[in-house]
Structure 1
Amino acid sequence: MNVQRSAAESAAATVAVPEAAPALDAADHGPGHGTDPDAASGRKGVGRGAQLVPVVLVVAGGLSVQFGSAVAALLMPRAGALGVVTLRLAAAALILLVVCRPKLRGHSRADWGTVVAFGVAMGGMNTLFYQALDRIPLGIAVTLEVLGPLALSVFASRRLINVLWAGLALVGVVLLGGGGADRLDPVGVAYALGAGAMWAAYIVFSARTGRRFPQADGLALAMVVAAVLSLPLGIWESGAKLTVPSTLALGAAVAVLSSVLPYTLELMALRRLPASTFAVMMSLEPAIAAMAGFLILSQALSTTDALAIALVIGASMGAVRSQTGPRKRKKKEG
């Protein structure tokens, strides 16, 4: 499938995976079904179930990503933050190469430039985020990281209402840092914000890669680029620790939980779910991260932290809804 959205629309969606248009119940509206009350009742039941399926897939993908991050945090004492990034990206690259078997021929120089830029953004995003995760709680790290896609959405929309959402997010960030200079590691905060900037770049280049490469071929190739770039850093920090069987196994688990499984689930969800709805649901990532941090890492949040995360989530949802709303109205008028 090809990406059907512009760069601005991809920014609004805060994720750039291919979107499929066919409706699940299209085949149910063929000749002969409209006159059977039982069939109509059955279609309604199936319709409700079909609407719930993509929601479950998105939530499952979010849980997979954030619980994968929690497992990565547990692995860091063994392999270091850079070592965990290397294990995750290398394992994910191998899995995607086997599954996707991307074609290397028939691509232009511009195609390869795009996929390399996508890989650099992916590697930078993961490296910076894991450095943040090594210093600050998971829920706060994800909240700060989300500011990158939020800023991209605000800039892409050029609508005054989104300035309000940006201000709401800023209030949330101020609350997160309001407990004193020693409350949050400033280096960890800087890493999380840097990861957010790389996430914004990831969104842009993911959309461009999706237009140039079929299916998930571009993702697989970009993952290889990211893994190759991270390999020297991981070896420099962790060396032989990366070859310990238990460490390799946990690294593979992180790769599946944080990369392979969520991408698959999100791709399946977007075949049945509008990109705007998907984006709103993705805005819940900080809350899911906070839950994963509490359950696995025993990282309890204060009331102020919870309020700050809620403000950033609300700002993300508002930015997406305000950007997609006018588009829907134009379609109806057209």
Structure 2
Amino acid sequence: MLGSGLSNQIGASVAALAFGSIGPAGVVAIRQWVAAGVLVAVGRPRLRAFTAAQWRPVLGLAVAFAVMNLSLYSAIDRVGLGLAVTLEFLGPLTVALAGSRRRLDLGCALAAAAAVVVLTRPRPSTDYAGIALGLLAAVCWGSYILLNRTVGRRLPGLQGSAAAALVSGALYLPVGIVTLTQDRPQPTVLLCALTAGLLSSAVPFLADLLALRHVSAQLFGVFMSVNPVCAAVVGLVVLDQHLDPASWLAIVVIMAANTVALSTRPRARPSADPSAGPGPGAGGPGPGPGPERQTAA
């Protein structure tokens, strides 16, 4: 689980190294192609057998996946890895708290809201567009989780997620073609983008599948709460992105709110749905269908 989280965030930091040459959209295009290749090879979707009722949530999932990664990487480019991933993490936290009537969950929501105010407090250097992009990524991640549940009910195994990744990759074909033909990036830039795709998609996906054979989905979801801290640390070490003490405290509060909300939730009955696996990953959900992480970041 730790390897999965670190791989995801290191992949995002490597992606940031290529932003100057091909921009976030170019990097996301290559990442989407890597994710599509991995999931199609594993899920082997039978596209011709899909019904209209199955295609609708799959297409919604593809759009959510595509917009989520683009908005997250654009936010990373503007406000840094730690802040962008923390804002995106509000998506699954909101889904976890939505509809709950427990006072404890209300307290978690209020604590997270206060932490967001601290993170986004107005300053001369505040990049409001970057913050908005991070919050858009959060909305997309929440939508991704809800759509994944529908896809998991209507399609067996990983077929729905694989089809969504394939459609998402196809959506980025024009962007990738224009980027590769007009900008003509150096091989090192392409290597960074490809490495980001592997570290943020393929490696976390396989690591999550292995981890979920040994731990419960609830424990997995709780452990994934460490992703914002991993992102902040990786951003500091790899990209030299510094956060002030108040921002570090706010990140820890949001992480703690998610941990408390998930760890105190009544255990659900084990699901026989084979799609209840890992998800996209923050920091850019990687590709995958799980209800806890729904983490392709």
Q: Do they fold alike, i.e. is TM over 0.5?
A: yes
Q: Are 1:132 and 2:75 an aligned pair? A: yes
Give the one of 44, 57, 70 matched to 1:101: 44
- 8 Å CA contact retained: 2:34, 2:202: no
- 8 Å CA contact retained: 1:280, 1:321: yes
Q: Are 1:71 and 2:17 an aligned pair? A: no
TM-score if structure 2 supplies the norm length? Answer: 0.84
Partner of 2:197: 255
- 8 Å CA contact retained: 1:129, 1:141: yes
Report the Cα distance in structure 1 between the residues aligned to 2:240 and 2:51, rounded to whole angstroms.
49
**Cα deviations across residues 56-104 of structure 1 (Å, max 9, x unaligned)?**
xx11110111110000111101110111111110122123323443222
Q: How does 1:304-323 map to 2 (within 5 A)?
A: 304-323=246-265
- Structure 1: give runs of 5+ residues left out of the alignment: 1-57, 329-334
Partner of 1:153: 96
- 8 Å CA contact retained: 1:87, 1:242: no
Rg (Cα) greater in structure: 1
Cα RMSD for the two superposed structures: 2.1
> How many residue pairs end up in the alignment?
270
- Structure 2: give runs of 5+ residues left out of the alignment: 271-297
Q: Name the aligned partner's letter for residue 254 of structure 2.
A: V
**In terms of mean alpha carbon deviation, does 306-315 or 107-116 score higher?**
107-116
Identity %: 37
Report the Cα distance in structure 1 between the residues aligned to 2:203 and 2:160, rounded to whole angstroms.
17
Report the Cα distance in structure 2 between the residues aligned to 1:239 and 1:317, rounded to whole angstroms.
45
Report the Cα distance in structure 2 between the residues aligned to 1:113 and 1:244, rounded to whole angstroms.
39
Report the Cα distance in structure 2 between the residues aligned to 1:209 and 1:129, rounded to whole angstroms.
23
Q: Name the aligned partner's letter for residue 217 of structure 2.
A: A
Q: Name the aligned partner's letter for residue 223 of structure 1.
A: A
**Cα deviations across residues 146-179 of structure 1 (Å, max 9, x unaligned)?**
111111111143433211101101111122133x
Report the Cα distance in structure 2 between the residues aligned to 1:176 and 1:141, rounded to whole angstroms.
10
Report the Cα distance in structure 1 between the residues aligned to 2:148 and 2:73, rounded to whole angstroms.
20
Q: Name the aligned partner's letter for residue 163 of structure 1.
A: L
**Cα deviations across residues 98-156 of structure 1 (Å, max 9, x unaligned)?**
34432223322111112111111111110110110110011111111111111111114
- 8 Å CA contact retained: 2:21, 2:185: no
Report the Cα distance in structure 1 between the residues aligned to 2:178 and 2:127, rounded to whole angstroms.
24
Q: Name the aligned partner's letter for residue 260 of structure 1.
A: A
Partner SS for 1:189: helix
Partner SS for 2:79: coil
Partner SS for 2:78: coil
- 8 Å CA contact retained: 2:32, 2:169: yes
Report the Cα distance in structure 2 between the residues aligned to 1:304 and 1:79, rounded to whole angstroms.
33
Report the Cα distance in structure 1 between the residues aligned to 2:179 and 2:99, rounded to whole angstroms.
38
Report the Cα distance in structure 2 between the residues aligned to 1:160 and 1:326, rounded to whole angstroms.
20
Pair 1:242–1:308, CA change in 2 (3 A): farther
TM-score if structure 1 supplies the norm length? Answer: 0.75
- 8 Å CA contact retained: 1:62, 1:282: yes
Q: Are 1:143 and 2:82 an aligned pair? A: no
Q: Are 1:213 and 2:155 an aligned pair? A: yes
**In terms of mean alpha carbon deviation, does 86-95 or 196-205 score higher?**
86-95
Give the one of 177, 195, 211 matched to 1:269: 211
